[in-house]
């Protein structure tokens, strides 16, 4: 969808040909109609996805990921709870209130936190990057 900027309004205020302004109005109305159709399609796709989510079983696991920070070259550990569709790939979302970052020297704390989450949510711990 086209976003009108200040310069577009300035051009209109400097134009004194009625035909040009009428053409601009017609183009803007067409863009508005196309934008409304696209928004309607987007809303329909969102509602369809909500129906799909309501009928989908989800799995979860706790991840304990080790990786090197490319800027500082320090090792970092990330722990969190990952939700994903049971019949799909492990491409889901992380429960943000469970995710924590640890320094590389805090391996024991990271592992304890991962085990705590696994116990709390009754799921397994998957380790990456070790």
Does residue 63 share a domain with residue 39?
no
Burial class (CB in 10 A: 0-12, 13-18, 19+), 81: buried
Residue 58's pLDDT is what? Answer: 83
Residue 74's pLDDT is what? Answer: 93
pLDDT digits (tens, 9 = 90+) for 15-57: 888 899 899 999 999 989 998 999 999 999 999 989 988 888 8
The pTM for the full model equals: 0.60
Residue 80 and residue 123: Cα distance in Å, rounded? Answer: 12
Does residue 82 share a domain with residue 34?
no
Boundary-marking domain end, from 36, 53, 70: 53
Does residue 64 share a domain with residue 23?
no
Q: Which of 60, 50, 54, 59 is nearest to 98 (CA)?
A: 60
What's the structural domain count of the chain? 2
The residue written with tokens 């796709």 in the block is 45
Residue 2's pLDDT is what? Answer: 65
Does residue 37 share a domain with residue 10?
yes
Residue 1's pLDDT is what? Answer: 55
Does residue 86 share a domain with residue 41?
no
């Amino acid at each position: 969808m086209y976003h009108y900027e200040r310069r577009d309004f300035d051009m209109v205020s400097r134009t004194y040909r009625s035909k040009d302004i009428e053409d601009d109005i017609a183009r803007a109305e067409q863009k508005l109609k196309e934008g409304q159709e696209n928004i309607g399609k987007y809303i329909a796709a969102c509602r369809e996805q909500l129906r799909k989510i309501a009928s989908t079983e989800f799995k979860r696991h706790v991840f304990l990921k080790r990786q090197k920070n490319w800027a500082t070259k320090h090792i970092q550990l990330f722990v969190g709870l990952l939700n994903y569709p049971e019949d799909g790939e492990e491409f889901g979302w992380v429960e943000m209130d469970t995710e924590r970052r640890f320094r590389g020297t805090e391996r024991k704390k990271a592992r304890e936190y991962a085990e705590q989450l696994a116990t709390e949510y009754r799921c397994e711990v998957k380790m990456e990057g070790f």
